[in-house]
Structure 1
Amino acid sequence: MQIVAKVPTGKVPGIKAPVKFVGSVLLSCPRLAKDLLVLPDRLHRGCVAGVVIIGLLLISCFITYAYVEKYQLTDSFFYGQVEFSFIDRGYPEIFGYILELVAAALFLLFAVAHHKKAWFAWSAMMFIIFLDDAFKLHESIGHAYVALWNLHPVSGDLLGFATTGLFAVICWTIGVTTITTKEDFSAYLLFSCYFGLLIFFGVGVDALHGLFGENVSQTVFTLAEDGGELLMTAMIALSALGMWLRQKDAVINTGRMPLNSAVSKF
């Protein structure tokens, strides 16, 4: 007797499930973004207000400085005060360094407190961004390549940038493989979007600045590039704080996941 295997007709199980899962996660990101930035928590509201006020003040000072320099208003307080510009160790950049360190510390605190390894990756990534902005990490690596292999400085700089980016990609990949819940995956994806926009402003807009900078206002391009980076860094830091406070409240109210005793007092 010949046995004929019955091939099921209709929907093939397992094909659409991942697509549906990713779709639901993507749809949840806008709501999650709002929830992490708008919390019924006095500390978080105060931090958001403080970051917004400081950011607007720094941008206003930069615009004023640019105006004073353009029209050579030598009697103005802002004349010659290059620290108000988006330069290395300028006031806006220092504020960005602080936000990067705060974000790295919050991700580390969250990972340790809730035993979620994925967020160690984000702590490392934000620390890499801090080292690159404050201490020119990728340029230093590039100079090492130039000295080691006698490369052209431009090639060394590109290799340094690629090395730094590769390390960040490795951290991200390792982190995403440790996620076990939909909630964590949604948050991971949201922060990935923020990080992508941060890179876009830092690299993409910078490239456009190099191509079209002579025909467009330098102030406008600087605001788009450095102001955009500062905005996304603030979004990451404030959202990391929101994630920490939300999870801490959930633990306290429901007791569903014990906090690590080493950091529970925070």
Structure 2
Amino acid sequence: MDLLIKERNGFEYVDEGTGDVLLLLHGLFGALSNWQDVVEEFQNDYRVIIPLLPIYDMPLTKAGVPGLVNFVEDFLAELGLTEPATVLGNSLGGHVALVYTLRNPGRVARLVLTGSSGLFEDSMGGSFPKRGNYAYVQEKVAYTFYDPAVATKELVDEVFNVTNSNAKCLRIIAIARSAQRHNLSKELGKIKAPTLLVWGLNDTITPPLVAHEFHRLIPHSELRFLDHCCHAPMMERPKEFNGLLRQFLQQPTEQAISR
């Protein structure tokens, strides 16, 4: 299925299905399509919402994790969503989800993190993409996945086009530096929402050790690893990811908290 992108007062987003809200947040080089398999799996049972984060065009002075959290809050206010939602975040989206949860504990029923930043990350394999070098960008995009074949030409072209824009690169760098500065280790203990951590066992950007640290610091969390999987489990192992997510969503909140 092709995702239908809606627009409302400057916000672009996907909004499919009805029921309890699943709010999905993509990463630094991510896109709405990163969550396509999740949308297909859950749209019949939940209202699945994905805002397009303004990573490449937000004001440079606001380009950072706090600015993105402000954007998410404004987006949800625009849609009139006040009921508690399940918030899912991949990579930088996980970082945004964490700060949103800390700011708005009453509006997060459950939290799901996969390859999240917030403690440590090795962005794009330790360096930012070089402008005009397609082979370099191709190599670094492939570094995000256990199976390099997942880094399709379409995906590589998208990142290559982004990195060829000075304005977009400046924002990417500002946001990445903000994420690296914004370490949440001292705040994670405040999170009360039941939390599912789904990690690629072969993640090279936020390695398994990072997942174990999140698990140690977030009180009501459970950790699941997927083998032969790197930084985007919902893309590389969608069936397994969706199975873990559905199992987590079906747990009574009290049971999830007691785990």
TM-score by length of 1: 0.25
Larger Rg belongs to: 1
Greater strand fraction, Structure 1 or Structure 2 = 2
Per the normalisation by structure 2, the TM-score is 0.25
More helix by share: 1
Structure number with greater CO (CA < 8 Å, separation at least 6) is: 1
